[in-house]
Amino acid sequence: MKISSREVEYVANLARLEVTEAEKEKFTAQLNDILLYIDKLNELDTKGVEPMSHAISVTNAFREDKILDSIGTENSLANAPDARGEFFRVPKVID
Amino acid sequence: MEFETVIGLEVHAQMLTDTKIFCGCSTKFGGAPNSHTCPVCLGMPGVLPVLNKKVVEFAMKMALATNCEINKSCEFARKNYFYPDLPKGYQISQYAYPLAEHGHILLDVNGEQTKIGITRIHMEEDAGKLMHDEHNPSSYVDLNRTGVPLIEIVSEPDMRSSEEAADYLKRLHEILVYLEICDGNMEEGSFRCDANVSIRPKGQKEFGTRAELKNMNSFRNVQRALEYEIKRQQYLVENGGTVIQETRLWDDAQGATNSMRSKEEAHDYRYFPDPDLVPILVDETWVEKIRKELPELPLTKRERFIKDYQIPAYDAGVLTADKALANYYEEVVKLCAKPKAASNWVMGDVLKFLNEEKRDIRQCPITAKSLADMIRLIEEGTISGKMAKEIVEDMYKTGKSPQTIIEEKGLVQITDEGELIKTITSIIEANPGQLADYRGGKEKLFGFFVGQAMKATKGKANPQLVNELLKKMLA
């Protein structure tokens, strides 16, 4: 076993996901399967191969510093679960 | 026990671009809440961020100005955490492959140069702004600032005192403003600083446990917060306690740092390369193009002023603290060819007037030409230094040229020998007692005659000429 159900719980909490006991068991097994597969990849000799972060070979995709239309306050707030005046409203957070 | 302080600083500088780092929304400060937003910076699903080229170029300028090596390849990563000012649930930043590394700047403290290392400079997006309701359990979110471009400049733990840290910050600030890539406004948050502070017994090699200080929005507060924190840690250690690694907030009104207890949960940002943004490759041609665009930097300018204008290091420091001020000074010198006199007038009178009204040199009513003319008029003996003091004040108030003011007020210095001889003759005749005493050895009375001559001419007599004539005529 690569990871325990405690680690699944930890990761779920970081992602703000609520999981039941049954799900926790299921995900632990599934994640272990995935990690076993990664182990398989590790068998490959990658000496002298640069690490790569993207599957495509495109680099340097830029835009010029030109202002485009914003969508405005009203549209920005249109899908918000809660808003007040020109602001999004969220449960109180204090640093 | 004697302690040594160890300080490292993280500076966030907002880049002066027109648009955000990954979308075309305006970066302008002070728009209606949530008006400078679009699906990209609101973090809507399915959108594609595209990097603003100018952000890369601005960051490269700072990297070159701080002697960093620009990496041939760099990329963006996602820093994952949940907070309402971050709509995507992650901040796009750089992690394993930053834009630039291994730089340094030089500090000049009391004539001694110290090198402060720069670990890295990377690009990232800013988060939104939160306001907290005093009466209801609600916070309000404005996402205008979300996606505004920042560079983060991380120093090595090379500073050994709060003064050194403050000096480093000022130099960094100066460079950013000289490069015209950041407006440097600390109150509006365009230039923010977090500090890592620890202490260790003098002579010990290992670092002590550090505290991270946040929420200091002026140079003065950074220094005050550091001083407080150093004392707090020393007191703790001397009394058998231990410093714990934590984030502490500076409270300006209280003059103290307080533990930020609410965020006790250990951070686990799970950085990974952002799949939406492709790697950035920077070749030598691009670096050289940017290098050519760099202006003369503050330190170089300072050294040039000292050497070319033969002015003291202190003067050069004041005059080059602001690029516009340095340009003004150079213009004055070019027109009057009196560098030291120009420095005295700019630093003494002009800056005093401007500071009183909290204006900067761009708003100065005295043009460089007027000031240069005035300096020339003193040199030529047309006006005395004392008269000039009065004239320069009028120049500031009215914006008029010195020649106009001199004419309007009839201030021209009397340099006509014949006229002065007449005046002095009548003074000598009117004061036979003093004359006899002077000739009898009371040399102090010379000042009395100078005073009488200046009084008779309402201060307009050329003092040097009065001295010369009196010496002859009293003998």
- Identify the residue whose tokens are 């021209």: B412
- Looking at the complex, report in whole angstroms how far the Cα of residue B55 sits from the nearest Cα belonging to chain A: 9
Domain ranges, residue B87:
3-289
Cα separation, B73 vs B421, whole angstroms: 82
Domain extent at residue A27: 5-42
Distance CA B469, CA B307 (A): 39
Domain with residue B443: its CATH number is 1.10.10.410
Question: Based on the number of CB atoms within 10 Å of its own CB, is B55 exposed (0-12), middle (13-18) or buried (19 or more)?
Answer: buried
CA distance A11 to chain B (A): 10
Residue B225 and residue B147 share a domain: yes
User: Which of the listed residues B389, B409, B429 is the one where a domain comes to its end?
Assistant: B409
Give the list of residues 6+ apart from residue B219 with CB closer than 8 angstroms, or none: B166, B169, B170, B173, B186
What pLDDT, on a 0 to 100 scale, did the predictor assign at position B261?
A: 63
Using the Cβ of A14 and the Cβ atoms of chain B, whether some distance falls under 8 Å is answered with yes
Is the same domain home to B175 and B318? no
**Rounded Cα–Cα distance for residues B371 and B336 (Å):** 9
The tens digit of pLDDT for each residue in B91-131 reads 999 999 999 999 999 997 767 789 999 999 999 999 999 99
Amino acid in the structure at residue A21: E
**Is residue A25 one of the residues assigned to a domain?**
yes
Task: Give per-residue pLDDT as tens, B305-357.
Answer: 999 999 998 999 999 999 999 999 999 999 988 898 889 899 989 989 888 88
B475/A contact by beta carbon, under 8 A: no
> Do B164 and B63 belong to one domain?
yes
| Neighboring chain A residues of B53 at a CB cutoff of 8 Å | 62-65
Running DSSP on this structure, what letter comes out for residue B19? Answer: B
Could you give the CA distance from residue B410 to residue B396 in angstroms, rounded to a whole number? 18
Q: Tell which residue, B404, B387, B393, has the closest CA to residue B460.
A: B387
Last residue of a domain, one of B363, B388, B409: B409
Number of domains in chain A: 1
Helical H runs in B1-85? 53-65
d(CA B100, CA B119): 9
DSSP, collapsed to helix, strand or coil, labels residue B135 as coil
A68 within domain boundaries: no
Residue A89 and residue B56: Cβ atoms within 8 Å?
no
Q: Is B270 on the interface with A (CB under 8 A)?
A: yes
Domain tally, chain B: 3
- Residue-wise pLDDT for B67-81, tens only, equals 999 999 999 999 998
Residue of A nearest to B58 (CA): A65
Give the helix/strand (H/E) hosting B115. strand B112-125
Crossing angle of the two packed helices B417-430 and B445-456, in degrees rounded to 10:
120
Would you say residue A22 lies in a domain? yes
Residues of A in contact with B130 (CB under 8 A): 93
Radius of gyration of the CA atoms of chain A, in A: 22
**Contact across the interface for B268 and A14, Cβ inside 8 Å:** yes
Give the domain CATH number at A37: 1.10.20
CB A83 within 8 A of CB B142: no
By the CB < 8 Å criterion, does B144 face chain A?
Answer: no
Distance separating alpha carbons of residues B129 and B192, to the nearest angstrom: 14
Tracing tokens 């988060």 back to the chain, one arrives at B127
pLDDT digits (tens, 9 = 90+) for A20-54: 999 999 999 999 999 999 888 889 999 998 888 88
Contact B55, B17 (CB under 8 A): yes
Do B218 and B234 fall within a single domain?
yes
B174 and B40: one domain? yes
CB contact under 8 A, A64 and B32: no
Residue B436 DSSP code:
H
Percent of chain A at pLDDT above 90? 65
Count of all residues that appear for chain A in the document: 95
Report strand pairing: B51-52 vs A62-63.
parallel
CB B349 within 8 A of CB B370: no
Is residue B311 domain-shared with residue B389, that is, in the same domain?
yes
Q: What is the pLDDT of residue B456?
A: 79
What is the C-alpha separation between B206 and B399, in angstroms, rounded? 60
Distance (Å, rounded) from C-alpha B421 to C-alpha B200? Answer: 75
Block means of pLDDT (10 residues each) for chain B, 475 residues, are 92 97 94 95 95 98 98 96 92 96 89 91 96 90 97 97 93 95 91 94 90 90 94 92 89 89 65 95 97 94 93 91 92 90 90 88 88 86 80 86 80 74 85 86 86 79 81 81
Q: If you measure CA to CA, which chain B residue comes closest to A58?
A: B278
| CA atoms of A94 and A80, how far apart (whole Å) | 21
DSSP A17-76: ----HHHHHHHHHHHHHHHHHHHHHHTS--TTPPP-S-SS-----EE-S------HHHHH
